[in-house]
Amino acid sequence: MSQRNLQTQEQTQTQGQVQVQQMLPQQVLLVRLMEMPVESLQHRVELECMENPWLEASPNQSEGGENGEWDSPPLEGQGEASDATYDYRSEEDMPDFLTGASHSNNAAEFMSYDDTLSLTDRLREQMADFDLTDHEKELMEYLIGSLDEDGLLKKPLAVLADEAEIYQGLNTNVEELEQVLGVLQQFDPPGIGARSLQECLLIQVRRDEDNPYKDLLIKVLDKCFDDFIHKRWSRIEQRLHISRAKTEELQREILKLNPRPGGTLGAKSADRAQSIQPDFLIDTDENGTITVTLSQGNQPSLIISPDAEGQKDAFVRQYVERGQMFINALQQRSETMMRTMQAIVKLQKPFFLEGDETLLRPMKLEDVASATGYDISTISRVANSKYAETTFGTFPLKWFFTHKATQNNEGDDVTAKQIMATLRRIIEQEDKRQPLSDERLTQMLNADGFNIARRTVAKYREQMGIPVARMRK
């Protein structure tokens, strides 16, 4: 082999090395607790107390308060916060059972924190199994958040591309979303991210390499789907030249497929739609004072049982260390949640004073990260699946994040929400006998200082579910 070939091989091998940073168990626990809304957190605390005999409720509720609420002092003047402070600074400091180095099977049991994860959380965890760029990760998060209660992606990719730019500030296109969607459809459960029932079932069949009926099932679902939907099995037999016995076998195989791969997510969504338990309580009094409270639900303050003091048994010490790690993670979660929410309130103060959505300012994850000192991923976890109850209603935290759509005549940034609120007001006040065309709406918005094009007006109108002028008579 020539010297040049040796150098090329050596260079290729060197470039192929990837440094992987693994999170410590304390970090993993904190991340998962951070992502949980208050009702899931309450269940997680109950589960931990059941599994850990040395973890119990504090006799006094000084931290949680009588109503399970947690208040934080104003954040002005505080230094920059780190993402988290951990009891164990290196893996060498960790007890064996927490690092997975234990020779027993207890380590896996102790680190089983997946019990209360939603399907959304499980999908996000699987992102680490694929080589995605930072931009692709953002798009993947967006697609996961766009799934319906069945785990399907019903909106056309062209619409999702537009909405990603308007609401999330993500510049993308259909081709790029198609590529990321292809990765999402490789996640579990099989069928997730499909755009139709047909695609959902086909994904599941194609992934089942051991199914002896795989090829025939694909033909039924791909070539004879309309007959399949209408249960015209005799026609399928004729088209595929198969026997009645074979047809019955195919029917049994199809019954094993799941048309609703996101069914568990749908159940959670339905429950939440019926009764949303806010994670934050934000009160604005008549003097303009805004108070932020973190709701802990019925979650008690936790302590390590006094009976554990002086215990020398290694098994007891493992539980004590596990319990202390859990208590520390809960405290860190509370501090991070409060600091993040207070930053959001400060950045969107006009809205919290007036309750007018047109007063919402452009705000991205980066803005809150900069105000708190936390990483953007931390802000994303806090904002995901959390709700804030305000004087003016209950809102998902993601609602407060708005993208700059344009600038007004004074050079101030304007959000899509402001434009849509103004557009809605104009349409509500129009003469219903002569509804305003998109061209006329554009002229009126421009007169109000919003520098946008007619196609943008049409896009916002469609997103609000408002029909064209001729259909509004």
Under a CB-based contact definition with an 8 Å cutoff, are residues 172 and 139 in contact? Answer: yes
pLDDT surpasses 60 at 169? yes
Q: Is 296 a domain residue?
A: no
How does pLDDT run across 36-81, given as a tens digit for each residue? 888 888 888 888 888 888 898 887 654 444 334 545 444 333 333 3
Q: How far apart, in Å, are the Cα atoms of 154 and each of 35, 136, 226, 282?
A: 25, 20, 19, 34
Q: Which residues contact 52 (CB under 8 A, 6 or more apart)?
A: 319, 322, 323, 326
And the tokens for 11? 């260079």
How does pLDDT run across 217-261, given as a tens digit for each residue? 999 998 888 888 888 888 999 999 989 888 888 888 888 888 888
User: What are φ and ψ of residue 407, in 5° steps?
Assistant: -125, 150
- Percent of the residues in the chain that have a pLDDT greater than 70, as a whole number: 77
pLDDT at 78: 36
Q: DSSP per residue over 203-261, as a string?
A: HHHHH-TT-TTHHHHHHHHHHSHHHHHTT-HHHHHHHHT--HHHHHHHHHHHHTS-S-T
Helices (H) and strands (E) in the chain, counts: 22, 9
Facing residues of 282 across strands? 292
Q: Is 434 a domain residue?
A: yes
d(CA 190, CA 292): 41
Q: Is 154 a domain residue?
A: no
In this prediction, residue 315 has a pLDDT band, given cuts at 50, 70 and 90, of confident
- Percent of the residues in the chain that have a pLDDT greater than 90, as a whole number: 19
Look-up of token digits 């099995």: 233
Question: CB count, 10 Å around CB of 308?
Answer: 19
pLDDT at 227: 85
DSSP state of 281: E
| CATH number of 448's domain | 1.10.10.60
Q: Which residues contact 93 (CB under 8 A, 6 or more apart)?
A: none
Buried b (16+ CB within 10 A) or exposed e, 452-463: bebebbebbbee
In this prediction, residue 118 has a pLDDT band, given cuts at 50, 70 and 90, of low
How does pLDDT run across 369-416, given as a tens digit for each residue? 999 999 988 998 898 888 999 988 888 898 888 765 565 655 566 777
Q: Taking the model in full, what pTM does it have?
A: 0.51
Q: Is 245 a domain residue?
A: no
Question: CB count, 10 Å around CB of 472?
Answer: 13
Q: Is 235 a domain residue?
A: no
Under a CB-based contact definition with an 8 Å cutoff, are residues 211 and 205 in contact? Answer: yes
And the tokens for 153? 């992606």
Q: Which domain holds residue 448?
A: 404-471
Rounded CA Rg of the chain: 27
> Of 118, 114, 122, 99, which is closest to residue 322 (Cα–Cα)?
99
> Of 168, 186, 25, which is closest to residue 95 (Cα–Cα)?
25
Q: Which residues contact 26 (CB under 8 A, 6 or more apart)?
A: 84, 86, 87, 88, 98, 325, 328, 329
Average pLDDT, the chain: 77
In this prediction, residue 102 has a pLDDT band, given cuts at 50, 70 and 90, of very low
**Coil, strand or helix: which one is 103?**
coil
How does pLDDT run across 328-371, given as a tens digit for each residue? 999 999 999 999 999 999 999 999 998 887 788 888 889 999 99
Q: Is 197 a domain residue?
A: no
Question: CB count, 10 Å around CB of 386?
Answer: 22
Q: Is 186 a domain residue?
A: no
Under a CB-based contact definition with an 8 Å cutoff, are residues 151 and 263 in contact? Answer: yes
Question: CB count, 10 Å around CB of 318?
Answer: 21
The single-letter code of the amino acid at 232 is R
User: Domain count of the chain?
Assistant: 1
Q: Is 309 a domain residue?
A: no
User: Residues 428-448: what's their mean pLDDT?
Assistant: 88
Q: DSSP per residue over 93-143, as a string?
A: GS-HHHHT--SSSHHHHHT---TT--HHHHHHHHGGGS---HHHHHHHHHH
